[in-house]
């Protein structure tokens, strides 16, 4: 992305721009041309950079550094954790069913290494919150004798920004003898994430959502006593949990971004989100802000305007120099009906537009967005006389 366009970049939930601190850490790592498993001086220097990043990430989520396992991204972390086969100490531990939220990210909905028939989708309410009664009922009917239940639910939705009640979910799962994997990709750096505060047994994290490089992620365990069987076997890297030579530069950038992350700064985005929403409703009073009545990320809004196709609007915004998305950016550029809205029972055939931003997003970007939205709505409704059109 060229610098001049960054003020109008409104797609942070897809990927945040690389932070200067992360870039500097990566450049420093590239100067150390060695394998971090090597025992010579250069290898030890590379290993030191990986371990520093491990400490930085552990500090952000309040856990021990040796509970952090680096991966190539959140998708690999999910595929690693979502497996029927774990070890508890030296003993095997089996999970017979995986329970996921119907509005989860596709990498969770895919079910990892579970057989398709063993993946159970939990419904969400119209608000986008997972149906806790349905979760309790599903786990109450689970046969623990055949294997324990594994539950995977996102902390914050990547489209609506709706924040799930993870402590309540964790309490239900624990009471039923299950284990909880929390996809904290969108929550990290935007809300306080404390793995010691009964918010789950494992976290899935991603570097590029917090201003680190693409190509780095992590799974973080509350304890290393129970761990999934490795997805990638071979060498003994990452204490045997993930084979393959570590991508030192990417990991160093991830660590630097984690050290910079500040949820308190993102809390300041609420005023800007409210300004975005007020302008949308002034231009199109019948617009629907999805998930508006429940806790949401302060930097995210997902809205539909009756009669305005999300795909058409996204193209118009792009031509005007505004980067927004029509839902998740995880389907190779495909634009279609949002599975999140479908899960919420929303029948908006037009789709929806997601706006996601950062604390330093400019007021000019907000104004430019409203100007362009007014033009888009006016073209879609030529017979209407709309304010701002």
Distance CA 9, CA 22 (A): 19
Helix locations, the chain, DSSP H: 20-30, 41-61, 74-81, 106-109, 132-140, 166-175, 248-260, 263-267, 270-283, 310-319, 339-343, 363-380
Place of tokens 């537009």: 353
| 330 noted as active-site residue | yes
Place of tokens 């497996």: 83
Place of tokens 């919420």: 344
Distance CA 178, CA 157 (A): 22
Residue 288, H or E segment: strand 288-289
Look up residue 236 and give its two tokens. 């003994």
β-strand partners of 227? 87
DSSP string across 81-118: HS-SEEEETTEEEEEEEEEEETTS-HHHHT-TTS-GGG
CB 78: neighbour CB atoms within 10 A? 28
User: Nearest to residue 166, comparing CAs of 187, 137, 146, 149?
Assistant: 187
- 179-183 and 148-154 beta bridge pairing: parallel
Backbone angles phi, psi at 42, to 5 degrees: -65, -40
Catalytic residues, by residue number, are: 330
């Amino acid at each position: 992305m060229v610098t001049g366009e960054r003020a109008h970049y409104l797609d942070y939930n897809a990927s945040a721009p690389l932070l200067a601190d992360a870039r500097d850490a990566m450049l420093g790592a590239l100067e150390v041309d060695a394998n971090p498993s090597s025992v010579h001086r250069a290898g030890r220097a590379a290993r030191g950079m990986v371990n520093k990043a491990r400490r930085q990430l552990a500090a952000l989520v309040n856990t021990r550094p040796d509970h952090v396992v680096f991966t190539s991204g959140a998708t690999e972390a999910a595929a690693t954790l979502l497996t029927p086969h774990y070890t508890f100490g030296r003993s095997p531990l089996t999970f017979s069913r995986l329970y996921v939220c119907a509005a989860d990210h596709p990498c969770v909905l895919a079910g990892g290494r579970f057989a398709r028939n063993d993946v159970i989708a939990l419904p969400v309410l119209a608000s986008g919150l997972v149906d806790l009664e349905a979760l309790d009922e599903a786990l109450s009917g689970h046969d623990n004798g055949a294997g324990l239940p594994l539950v995977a639910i996102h902390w914050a939705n990547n489209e609506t920004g709706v924040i799930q009640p993870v402590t309540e979910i964790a309490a239900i799962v624990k009471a039923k003898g299950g284990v909880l994997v929390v996809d904290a990709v969108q929550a990290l750096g935007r809300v306080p994430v404390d793995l010691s505060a009964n918010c789950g047994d494992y976290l899935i994290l991603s570097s590029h959502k917090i201003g680190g490089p693409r190509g780095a992620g992590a799974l973080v365990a509350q304890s290393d006593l129970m761990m999934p069987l490795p997805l990638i076997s071979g060498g003994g890297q990452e204490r045997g949990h993930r084979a393959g030579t570590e991508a030192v530069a990417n990991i160093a950038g991830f660590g630097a971004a984690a050290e910079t992350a500040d949820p308190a700064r993102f809390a300041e985005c609420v005023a800007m989100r409210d300004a975005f929403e007020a302008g949308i409703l002034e231009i199109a009073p019948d617009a629907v802000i999805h998930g508006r009545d429940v806790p949401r990320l302060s930097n995210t809004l997902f809205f539909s305007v009756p009669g305005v196709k999300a795909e058409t609007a996204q193209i118009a915004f792009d031509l005007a120099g505004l980067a927004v998305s029509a839902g998740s950016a995880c389907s190779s550029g495909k634009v279609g009906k949002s599975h999140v809205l479908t899960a919420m029972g929303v029948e908006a055939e037009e789709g929806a537009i997601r706006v996601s931003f950062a604390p330093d997003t400019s007021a000019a970007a907000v104004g430019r967005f409203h100007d362009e939205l007014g033009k888009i709505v006016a073209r879609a409704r030529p017979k209407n006389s709309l304010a701002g059109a």
